[in-house]
Amino acid sequence: MTLDKAVLQRLAVRADITDYVRIISRAHAATPLGMGFGKTRFSSPRDKFRLLYLAQDPATAIAETIVRDRFQGKAERLILREEFDRYSIAVIRNPSPRFLLDLRYEGANLLGVSTDAVRARAQTSGRRLSQEIYDRTDFDGILYMSRITNKQCVAVYDRATASIEADGPAWDLIRLSALGPILDALHLTVIGGGMMSNR
């Protein structure tokens, strides 16, 4: 893969990610910035780095972490309350802007890589691109759009997370005051328990 330096420079942005959010397993609520190796959109194909994924708003974090593609081809969008009981949400503080590769718009096309890298359900292209970015540039991470909500997300490389903080331990997702309207916006119906939903 060849990465044009002029294009990379054109796509470089400094972004403040304060107030971005992260949804994590409740088991890790005390360490909301913890990271591991995994098979995600921009993860290392060779487990050479870890990523901190953040979303612009709670609705996008829920869509990216919990909903994903589970309702494809289904008329009803039912989800058990107990699934939300398994997660916590943390708000991020970012003392200094992150130096990010902006792939929100035409970035992938300008770099000559498949747009699947940022928009497709399959994630192989994104992983290969991310490995190249990590190995050959000094970017802190990648700024991209959620393919589900079309809102901003950030994947921050482990080398750039030292100064990022969370507003204390994460709190239970089920207690999020905006959860009812978020569920409605995502067209979800919660079954079991007494969670508020207008659907």
CB 80 within 8 A of CB 192: yes
Answer whether 0.85 is exceeded by the pTM. Answer: yes
Q: What is the pLDDT of residues 112-143, one digit of tens each?
A: 988 888 887 778 899 999 999 999 999 999 99
Cβ-Cβ contacts under 8 Å for 120 (sequence gap 6 or more): 114, 126, 147
pLDDT at position 194 over 80: no
Q: What is the dihedral of CA 136, 147, 173, 37, to 10 degrees?
A: -30
Question: Residue 15 and residue 186: Cα distance in Å, rounded?
Answer: 27
Q: What is the pLDDT of residues 2-14, one digit of tens each?
A: 899 999 999 999 9
**Residue range 90-112: average pLDDT?**
94
Q: Domains in the chain and their CATH numbers?
A: 5-69+88-174 (3.90.175)
The predicted structure's pLDDT at residue 151: 96
